[in-house]
Amino acid sequence: MSKKLRIGIIGSGGIAQGCHMKGYASMPDLCEMVAVCDVNPETAKTAADKYEVKKTYTDYRTMLAEAELDAVSVATPNAYHMQPTIDALAAGVHVLCEKPLAMNADESRKMCAAARESGKILQVALQQRFTGQARFMKQFIDGGNMGDIYYARAQALRRRGVPAWGVFIDKEKQGGGPLIDIGVHILDFTLFLMGYPKPVSASGKTWDTLGKNPDLVNPWGEYDRAKFTVEDFAVGLIKFDNGSVVVLESSFMANLDGDPFQTQLFGTKAGAIVKGWGESPIEIFTEQNRQLFNMKPTNIPQVESAHVDEVKAFVDAILHDKPSPVPGENGLILNAIFDALYRSSETGKEESVDISY
């Protein structure tokens, strides 16, 4: 493809302006943002002005019909991921969809089927895969240094961090709370490092007591506790067909020390703690010659912006006919696991995970 890719943006709020559009703007020789869409015309204009995009829309269908696009980013609230994605794919347009892929597995199935039918790329915006930590650990693991990873503990926990903007506390528009918002990142990161084994069942529990308590401080801003309809804490145990197990913990509000965002991997040759950020984000625990070693690598790749790099990977895949860097099927797996965990919290039973489509 010799010409620049023509890019459209569906949903042009904070995540679009700060991440997706920033990524496209970093590659002016490869792509050009030609249209921005948002149901709020002022938001669309703000985004367009910021990145010097000439055309704005309030209806993405009109944009798809008129703008002659090669690809779009779908950066709408979760409840509005599915239909724009399906419509864009049907129009022959590649899609980078913000995480989570959808509100639930049923929606994800329809999106994956649409991508399969169209032959176009559907990528899920899960930027943790593009961090230096992910790149280092993936190479280290694929080199056989960890052996078989049979257990992992994934944590995305905040002491007091309820997003007071957008629709993060509205289950009807978001689909869930921290599990589907930040748990999705650490779970994808963990499964990516483990080779994305196939889940078979999950059991979990959610709570919403702290999030509804008006007496608790929230440094991220005030919000109406009466409108808090998601969980504030979730924990789950997920079983996979290769015998491995992952425990997932995620919170917007929890009485703990700090805000851990990390995964702990247990392999037959070595273990590791991998953090999302910090000065020493990786520590590896191993044994050689009957001696125990704790190791901190010093050559972790430096990544200026994982958000920008995920967009670069999307553009590169389109231009060079590569598979999706983060396939929609992975997004389906995540949604299906969350569905099972939410069901399990209600039924008190272990629930099966269905990833068919």
Q: Which domains does the chain have, with CATH numbers?
A: 5-122 (3.40.50.720), 131-303 (3.30.360.10)
Cβ neighbours of 210 (radius 10 Å): 19
- Per residue in 100-115, pLDDT (tens digit) is 999 999 999 999 999 9
What's the predicted TM-score (pTM) here? Answer: 0.96
Mean pLDDT to the nearest integer, 178-202: 98
Q: Range with the lowest mean pLDDT among 121-125, 212-216, 275-279? A: 275-279
Mean pLDDT to the nearest integer, 342-355: 98
Query: What is the percent of the chain with per-residue pLDDT over 90, rounded to a whole number?
Result: 98
Task: Identify the H or E element spanning 351.
Answer: strand 351-352
pLDDT of 342: 98
Q: Residue 72: which of 19, 111, 35, 126 has the closest Cα?
A: 35
Q: pLDDT band for 2, please (50, 70, 90 cuts).
A: low
Q: pLDDT band for 1, please (50, 70, 90 cuts).
A: very low
Q: Which residues contact 192 (CB under 8 A, 6 or more apart)?
A: 128, 129, 134, 138, 330
pLDDT of 3: 83
Query: What is the percent of the chain with per-residue pLDDT over 70, rounded to a whole number?
Result: 99
Mean pLDDT to the nearest integer, 158-173: 95
Q: From the centroid of its chain, how far is CA 32?
A: 24
Strands in 84-160 per DSSP E: 94-98, 122-125, 149-156
Mean pLDDT to the nearest integer, 75-97: 98
- Per residue in 291-325, pLDDT (tens digit) is 999 999 999 999 999 999 999 999 999 999 999 99
Separate counts of helices (H) and strands (E) for the chain: 12, 15
Residue 110 structure tokens: 């329809």
Q: Mean pLDDT for the chain?
A: 97
Mean pLDDT to the nearest integer, 25-45: 98
Mean pLDDT to the nearest integer, 49-56: 97
Q: Which residues contact 262 (CB under 8 A, 6 or more apart)?
A: 154, 155, 186, 273, 274, 275, 276
| 101/337 Cα distance (integer angstroms) | 13
Q: Residue 157: which of 176, 178, 184, 177 has the closest Cα?
A: 178
Residue 217 has pLDDT above 60, yes or no: yes
- Per residue in 219-234, pLDDT (tens digit) is 999 999 999 999 999 9
Residue 289 structure tokens: 């010659």
| 351/357 Cα distance (integer angstroms) | 18
For 22, 280, 338, the CA distances from 349, given in Å and listed in that order, are 44, 39, 14
Residue 245 has pLDDT above 70, yes or no: yes
Residue 188 structure tokens: 């994808």
Beta-bridged to residue 234, according to DSSP, are 206, 250
Q: From the centroid of its chain, how far is CA 54?
A: 29
Is the peptide bond preceding residue 163 cis, with omega within 30 degrees of 0?
A: no
